[in-house]
Copies of this chain bind each other. A is one copy, B any other.
Amino acid sequence: MTTLQDCRALDAADPLRPLRDLFTLPAGVTYLDGNSLGPLPRATAARVARTIDEEWGEGLIRSWNSAGWFEMPQRIGDRIGQLVGAKAGETVATDTTSVNLYKVLSAALSVAGSGPRVVLSERSNFPTDLYIAESLCRERGFQLVLVEPDAIEARIAEGIAVLMLTHVNYRTGAMHDMARLTALAHAHGALVVWDLAHSAGAVPVDLNGADADFAVGCGYKYLNGGPGAPAFLWVHARHASRFVQPLSGWWGHAEPFEFTPGYRPAEGVTRYLCGTQTVLGMVALDCGLDTLHATDMAALRRKSLALTDLFISLVGQRCASHGLALVTPREHAKRGSQVCLSREEGAYAIVQALIARGVIGDFRAPDILRFGFTPLYLGFEDVWNAVEHLRDVMDTREWQQPQFNRRNAVT
């Protein structure tokens, strides 16, 4: 049996422990929802204030040049790219994940030849990805085929145009084998689009190593970029100047300030930009990336697995009789940086009761309790405390109190 003392010993030996000081975390909160909205880096407020007061207030329009605003999508994109196996110049920070998915999926569909007009995805993929794919498939005369995870490989072999998957599933925390599925899709003549929303900054990703084609991802989860932070988009160098994406705004033009009436796409991934990007959002995202670049993904992954292993083990030891089923794979190679439990009854209310105690995870319909473990700021004692609260909420049936059963929107 694991004890509180064991957890404290793990914290004492943790080389990443000092990184917690990079964040402002409210007292009394164990934050297990950094996979939905990363917490506030300590440096962000001052950096955004400087951008507002000096760059905008004093510099005004001149700051597009003097403060480097123009280059932010590429510069910050490259900093994200370093976390996911991109080479310099392959990544931009821009727009939202949904809009970026529309761009890259559209580009991928534009080369589908006479083969099967099928986009393959997973039934429990994050819905917005499916909505975007549904729209593009209808528009372009493709069929969106959704299968369970264990049926993906067989369906690829039947012939598809594009495989579109989220690398780490938002509901289950299960992680696909990116290299294997990409190679299989390529072997069958298909292109692959990866959504890294729950991967970037969470698990090691090697887009070039896997020879992927396109990727998108989120800035406000593990990248700690703040609510609604700009998302990102990656295109393999072999494709970057090959396709024109339909959101062909001036920021993707070869010469945006020549103001010519005809569209001529910029070389490379810059053609995936569209309109003017939020500078405040970019600056906050840059501060979020500083927290990840303070260490490396291998060290983060070691600790992430240790934290999720501990959580799984403690729930097994201390909450065994409460009908909580483990949804996330035990196998390390198949696990992201979150652990999901399910319970037939009360999943929503249990999450609410935990939040009221300061243990913030989230609920995902219809029956999932989701806990994100972000090694930058969480320790092993935090995991202990979270499980203790969960045990107590279950033992005392606290979750059955009416105030925890009134539904609210939650992200």
Contact = CB atoms under 8 A, between A and B. Distances in A.
A136 B135 CA distance: 14
Contacts of A57: 24, 26, 39-40, 45
A408 B61 CA distance: 13
Interface in A271-323: 274-282, 284
A128 B98 CA distance: 21
13 contacts: A33-B60, A69-B227, A69-B228, A96-B249, A128-B250, A128-B253, A132-B248, A135-B263, A220-B276, A227-B280, A259-B364, A259-B365, A280-B284
Contacts of A45: 49, 52-53, 57
| Closest CB pairs A-B (n = 4) | A96-B275, A98-B249, A128-B250, A98-B275
A409 to B, nearest CB: 5
B279 A227 contact: yes
A228 B276 contact: yes
A137 to B, nearest CB: 11
How many copies make up the complex?
2
Given A26-B60, A39-B57, A135-B247, A278 B278 contact: yes
Contact of A61 (B250, B282, B360): B360
A355 interface: yes
A110 to B, nearest CB: 10
Interface string A16-41: 00000000101001010100110110
A45 B123 CA distance: 44
Given A45-B49, A249-B98, A250-B131, A261 B146 contact: yes
Interface in A217-241: 220, 226-231
A134 interface: yes
A52 B61 contact: no
Given A61-B33, A409-B70, A281 B56 contact: no
